[in-house]
Amino acid sequence: MADRTIPLATSTRTEPAPDAGGGGGGGGNPWKDWVELSLDPSDWQIHHGTGSAAKSATITKSGDVLTWNAETTPSSSMELAINNNKNKGSWMIQKIHLKPWELSGLTPPAGVSAHELYPGAFSVKLEVRFETIPITGPVSNNALNGYGQAISCFAGVVTYAADQSGTPAYPADNTWVGAKVYKHRNDNPSTSTSALLYRGGYMSWNSQNQPSGYKWKGQASTGTEGHDALVFDLGGGPTRENYLGQYNANGGGYSTTNWPAHTSKPGTSFIFQSHTMEGKYIHLAIGFNSNDNAGSRGGSVRINRIRYLLQPLSNREDLTPV
């Protein structure tokens, strides 16, 4: 069979095409392609916790932008906090749980159910990119609340002990892990050049770390390394050592237009205990909430792309195609 070729974009020369197979992704690419998710709120399960419901928070879509908006009044905490059962904001949850084996065209090993995701066999990424105009950053609002101070966005997963049958419930307090960005200071983003204005990193129900030192697109004088997206990573490491062992998960902010630019991920973090993951049904999820319990918080988050990637990995046993 003749070698396949790909025309070069700037000339009539051709070069050898990559072999089909590898990571899949279509067209014979030796990598996995991102899968874009809908920005239409009706394609997600929407929940407003006690805090955001009190503020009549909304999740809407106009054109190619999804917007969460919560007013500063009435006073009601929208806090999402670790270790103290505070989960009061809004959630967008994929209605159907991840089916890693089916999505990868693989047969689950003996004793493994179709919904189970083992970190040694799969790597999962979830990315949320922000529309940074006109709110000049991933999170903002008017000066009534320090331009959205303390408002945060979460991108990760929530887990359930049972199949949710297309209508996932409001997440329990110990069932979520993901990437997070929040507005740390009360400065106006359109004039602030501070690398302390936003903080991005990971957050789970029992652990978190959001480093400072990174600017976000929409800020004044951001430069080419300005962050414009959250990214969450789960898996890729060996299966836990016991029931209370922890999964390899991490998250933070980065630039989608300058890939060598540094990310705000705070280093490898084993932050998700096995008993909240093992055997559970895993749903991709986006959260909107506050970094503290002040009832006066309010702001907006605008998103122009949500996508995920599921990559099977050779593990202890050979993977078996369906």
> What integer is the mean pLDDT of 95-120?
92
Q: What is the DSSP letter of 274?
A: G
Determine the straight-line distance between the first and last CA of the chain, rounded to whole angstroms. Answer: 27
Q: Has residue 37 got a pLDDT over 80?
A: yes
Sole residue written with tokens 């302390």: 196
pTM summary value? 0.88
The predicted-structure confidence for 163-191, as pLDDT tens digits, reads as follows: 999 999 999 877 888 999 999 999 999 89
For residues 230 and 155, is the Cβ–Cβ distance under 8 A?
yes
Q: Does domain 27-312 have CATH number 2.60.120?
A: yes
What mean pLDDT comes out for the span 122-145? 87
The yes-or-no verdict on residue 9 having pLDDT over 50 is no
Residue of 265, 253, 266 whose CA lies nearest to 153: 253
Return the pLDDT at 213: 80
Residue in 124, 108, 113 with CA at minimum distance from that of residue 317: 108
Q: Which of 30-44, 189-203, 214-228, 260-274 has the lowest mean pLDDT?
A: 260-274
d(CA 268, CA 251): 9
CA distance 241 to 171: 26
Among the listed ranges 137-141, 165-169, 237-241, which one has the minimum average pLDDT value?
237-241
Higher pLDDT, 234 or 156: 156
For the chain, what's the residue count?
Answer: 322
What is the arithmetic mean of pLDDT over 271-290? 82
Residue 246: per-residue pLDDT: 63
CB contact at 8 A, 209 and 269: yes
CB of 159 closer than 8 Å to CB of 282: yes
* Cβ(205)–Cβ(144) below 8 Å: no
Domain extents in the chain: 27-312
